Structure 1
Amino acid sequence: MAVGGTVRDHRDAWRVAMVIPLHGPAGLFGPSCEAIAELAAHELNAESGVLGREVTLEIVDGGAPPGIVATRLTELITAGQVDAVSGWHISSVRNALAPVVAGRIPYAYTPLYEGGERRPGIFCSGEIPRLQIAPALAWLRTNMGARRWFVAGDDYVWPRESGAAVRQFARELGLHVAGEAYAELGGDMAELVAKVDAARCDGVLMLLVGQDAVEFNRQFARRGLHERMLRFSPLMEENMLLASGCQATRNLFVAAAYFRSLVNADAMDLLDRYVGLHGPDAPPLNNAAESCYEGLHTLAMLAERAGSARLPEMAAVVDGFAYHGPRGTVEFHGQQAAQHVHLAVADGYDFDIIARL
C-alpha cells in the first residue's frame, strides 16, 4: 500500500515489508504498529521520501509461525516487491527471517530483544537487557528492597536468553534468582503463577508477550499476589494494561525507551501528529508501536547518510550513526542502537514515569 505525501520522483517506490503481529499473543498491539508505520511513511513522503523515492508499506503478519513468515518474505524479496524489512516481531521470527534477508536487503529490527544480533544487514534499534533490565533491577533493589526474584517467561529465545542474562545480573547486583519457569506461547498462565506463588519472592520478572502477560496479570491478581510482591516487565504497554484491568496492574513496574506519557517535546509532538493523522479513536500509541516508527526512520536516515538505499552502503555507515527522535538521542554502536531507558509504574491504564535509568 502507498501512504500519502508528495515526493520528487514517483517512478520508483521504496518498498518496506513491515512485519507486525496481526494475531497471536502479540496481536493486541498490531493495529497500533500498523497505524504508526503509516504515520512514519506519511511524514517521509511529505518531505522527499527516501532519496526521492516514495515510501510504500507491505504489511506482513508477524504473528504467524516463523516459517510461514519467512516463506512470505522470501516470496516478496524474490519477486522484487520489497527493498527493506522492518517491524515489531518476536525473536524467533527474526531468527527465521535473518537467513532470508542476509546480504540482500536492509533489515531494521525494532523490538526490545535479548541482544547479541551480529548477522550482516540487521540493524537493531530496540532495548537490550544490559541497558534495560539490569539498571531496573538495580533501582528496584535500592528503592523497593526487591532482592529475591522469580523469572516467569514465554518459552522461546527472548525470554530464555534474557533469563540467562538475569542470572548474571543477579550475581553482579547481589540479588537472588529463586526460581525460573517458562510456558508455551499462548498457553495457560495459571501454572506459571502458581510456581511464582510457591517461591515466596519479593518480585517476579515477567518475560511474557502481549496476551500472555495479560493473562498472567489477571491470574496474579486473583491470587492476591499483587498485595505482597511487585512485578517488573520490560514488555508492557497501554493495550496490555487495559486488557489486564486496573486492579490487576498494581505494583507493576515497566522499563522502556518510550512511553506515551513521556513529557518531553519530541514525544508529545509524536502523539499530536499520530492523533492528527488517525483521529482520537486511533489504536493506542505505545512503546511496541513506537519502535516501528523508529525502525522506518532508522532505515530512511541510514539511506540518506549512505547516499544509497542499498544494503552494502548502509551497513558501511551504521557504526556511530546517531539521530534525535521521540526517544531522545539514539546512537548505533555497530549494528545495535543505544538509547535512554525509563522506569515507570502502572497507574490504572497509563504509566507514571519515575526514573531515567
Structure 2
Amino acid sequence: MTITRRNLIKNAGGAAIVAVAAPNLILSTASAAQPWIAKGGTIKVGVLFSQSGPLAVVENDSTQVVRFAIDEINANGGVAGLQIEPVVIDAKSDIKIYSEKISQLILRDRVISTFGGYTSASRRAVAPIVMARDHLFYYPTCYEGRECTQNIINTGPLANQHSQDLIPFMVENFGKKVYLVGSNYIWPKESNKNAKVWLEKVGGEVVGEEYVPLGGSEFAPIFNKIRQAKPDFIFSTVIGDSDVAMHKQFLEEGFKADKLPIASLTTGEIEVRAMGAEAGAGHFLSAPYFQALDNPTNHRFVENYLKSPYGGGGVTHYNMEETYLAVYAWKAGLEKALAQAGDIEAVTPRMIRDASGGIVLDDDISPEGKVWIDPDNFNIWLKPKIGQCQGDGQFKIIRAAAEHVAPDPMSIYPERGVCKADGLHAPDGTIQKNVL
C-alpha cells in the first residue's frame, strides 16, 4: 500500500494519528522551524528497541550495541565536534508502544534519526509516522522486502540474501521435504512465501506449515504433526523467547539435529546462549555475520564490545552487528549531508537519507567485511553466509558467498515494479511513494 494522509489512521490502527495529534506533542510553528541539530548542543538520536518482554532476548542487545557504537564515535570526536546523545526507550515488546514512542522521539525529543525494531510489525507500526514527518528510521535486521520507502534505511538482509541460499543448501544436504514453523506475523509469512519459491526451483516440497503467537511457548502439538509428516528438515522463522522454547522442546521431544536439523533465519549466538548450547548444536543459521568470523575488524569488535559496560550478554550476534553497521552508516550519511549543506543547523533527517545512497562501510569498520547502501532502494549489499551451531554455542561457517549480493526487495514480486530512490517505479510508468 502507499502511505497517504487519508489512510494513515487505517494503516497504523489509529495509533499513529493519535500520537501525532496529541496536544502535548504538537509543536508550534516557531519550534518546528528550529534546527534538528543546534550548534553547541548535542546530536540526539532515538533508540527504540525492547528491553523487556519476549523480544528482549534479542532487542536488549541491540540497545546496548547502539550505545557502544555511540561511545566509540563520541570518543573519537563525535560528528562535526558535537557529541551524540542517545534517547533510549523500552518498547516493551508492544507494537502500540513503538508507534506511540516514535512520535515522542520526533516531536518532543527532536531526534534527527531513530534506530529500532526487530520485527516487521514494529517497523510497520512506526513507518506511517516516520513517513508523515519525512523523518528517518534505521531498521537493522532481516526483513521480507516487498516495500519501497523513502524514509527507512535497512541494514539487514532481504530474502534474496538469506533464504535463497539456505533453502537449496538444506535440500541438497538433507532432502526435499520441509516443515515450515514461524511466529505469527508478517515477516515469517512473507519469508515462507519466498522460501516456497526457492523450494520449488530445487524440487522441494512443503509437508506442513504452522505459526505460533509472538511469545508463544507451546510446541508439542506442532512436533506431533512433524512426527506424522516426516520432513527432512524444519525451516524456522520463530523469534525471541518462542525460538528458545522451540529448541528446548525439540530436545525434550526426542528429536536429534543430525536426523532433523532446523534451518533458521533467526537463531544466532544470543538465542543459543539463552537456550543452552546443547539445544542449538547441529542446527543451521543463514546470516551475513557470525561471531566466529575471522578478520581483524571482527576480532576487535568482539573483544571491545564484550569487555565494555554493554557486553554483559557474553556474545555478539548478527542482529547486533547489523545494528552497529546502522549507526556507522548513519554517521557517514550525516557527515555527507553536512558537507553538502555546509551548516550543521541546515541538516534535516531527509537530507541524511538522500545522502546515504552508496555509503560504503569498509573492512576497517564493518565486522562482516565491506558492505554498502544501495543508492536506489537503500538496503544493504552484503555476502550471505550459512553457519552450523557447534557444541560451544558458536557457529562454524560452512558456506559463504564469494561476491556481494544486491538487495532486491521485489525479488518474488517483479510485477510490482522496481524500487528507486524516488519511489516504486511500476510497470505502467507511474511512481508510487512510500509503498508498504
Give the TM-score, by structure 1 length: 0.91
SS at match of 2:93: coil
Q: Distance in 2 between matches of 1:279 and 1:27?
A: 15
Question: Once structures 1 and 2 are overlaid, which stretch shifts more, 301-310 or 175-184?
Answer: 301-310
Correspondent of 2:146 among 96, 106, 116:
116
SS at match of 2:270: helix
Aligned to 1:332: 373
Letter in 2 for 1:197: R
Correspondent of 1:181 among 186, 190, 210:
210
Q: Distance in 2 between matches of 1:279 and 1:99?
A: 32
Q: Any residues of structure 2 matched to 1:275-354 within 5 Å, and which?
A: 275-278=306-309, 281=312, 283-307=314-338, 309-324=347-362, 325-333=366-374, 334-348=377-391, 349-354=393-398
Contact 1:124 1:336 survives alignment (8 Å) = yes
Question: Once structures 1 and 2 are overlaid, which stretch shifts more, 185-194 or 85-94?
Answer: 185-194
Question: Once structures 1 and 2 are overlaid, which stretch shifts more, 155-164 or 182-191?
Answer: 182-191
Question: Once structures 1 and 2 are overlaid, which stretch shifts more, 90-99 or 103-112?
Answer: 103-112
Letter in 2 for 1:56: E
Letter in 1 for 2:357: D
Q: Distance in 1 between matches of 2:367 and 2:385?
A: 13
Question: Once structures 1 and 2 are overlaid, which stretch shifts more, 72-81 or 293-302?
Answer: 72-81
- Give the RMSD, CA atoms, in angstroms: 2.0
Letter in 1 for 2:372: E
Letter in 2 for 1:112: C
Aligned to 1:267: 298
Q: Distance in 2 between matches of 1:31 and 1:54?
A: 23
Q: Any residues of structure 2 matched to 1:182-201 within 5 Å, and which?
A: 182-187=211-216, 188-201=218-231
How many residues are aligned here? 348
Q: Any residues of structure 2 matched to 1:1-357 within 5 Å, and which?
A: 11-102=40-131, 103-142=133-172, 144-187=173-216, 188-226=218-256, 227-278=258-309, 281=312, 283-307=314-338, 309-324=347-362, 325-333=366-374, 334-348=377-391, 349-357=393-401
Letter in 2 for 1:274: Y
The structural deviation recorded for 1:281 is: 4.6
Q: Distance in 1 between matches of 2:350 and 2:239?
A: 34
Provide, for residues 184-236 of structure 1, a one-character-per-residue CA deviation record: whole Å limited to 9, x for no partner. 11122222333323221010011011211111111111222225211111111
Letter in 2 for 1:106: L
Contact 2:52 2:60 survives alignment (8 Å) = no
Name structure 2 gaps, 5 residues minimum: 1-37, 342-346, 402-436
Provide, for residues 35-91 of structure 1, a one-character-per-residue CA deviation record: whole Å limited to 9, x for no partner. 221210011112232333311111222343212221122122111432111134211
Q: Distance in 1 between matches of 2:293 and 2:103?
A: 38
Contact 1:60 1:69 survives alignment (8 Å) = no
SS at match of 1:352: strand
Q: Distance in 2 between matches of 1:51 and 1:88?
A: 28
Give the TM-score, by structure 2 length: 0.75
Letter in 1 for 2:367: P
CA 1:195–1:15 in structure 2 vs 1: closer, same or farther (change >3 Å)? farther
Contact 2:68 2:310 survives alignment (8 Å) = no
Q: Distance in 2 between matches of 1:315 and 1:30?
A: 24
The structural deviation recorded for 1:110 is: 0.2
The structural deviation recorded for 1:171 is: 1.5
The structural deviation recorded for 1:22 is: 1.1
Provide, for residues 148-176 of structure 1, a one-character-per-residue CA deviation record: whole Å limited to 9, x for no partner. 11110000011011111111111222221
SS at match of 1:275: helix
Name structure 1 gaps, 5 residues minimum: 1-8
Contact 2:164 2:195 survives alignment (8 Å) = yes
Q: Distance in 2 between matches of 1:276 and 1:220?
A: 33
> Counting strand residues as a fraction of each chain, which structure ranks higher?
1
Q: Which has the larger radius of gyration?
A: 2
SS at match of 1:262: coil
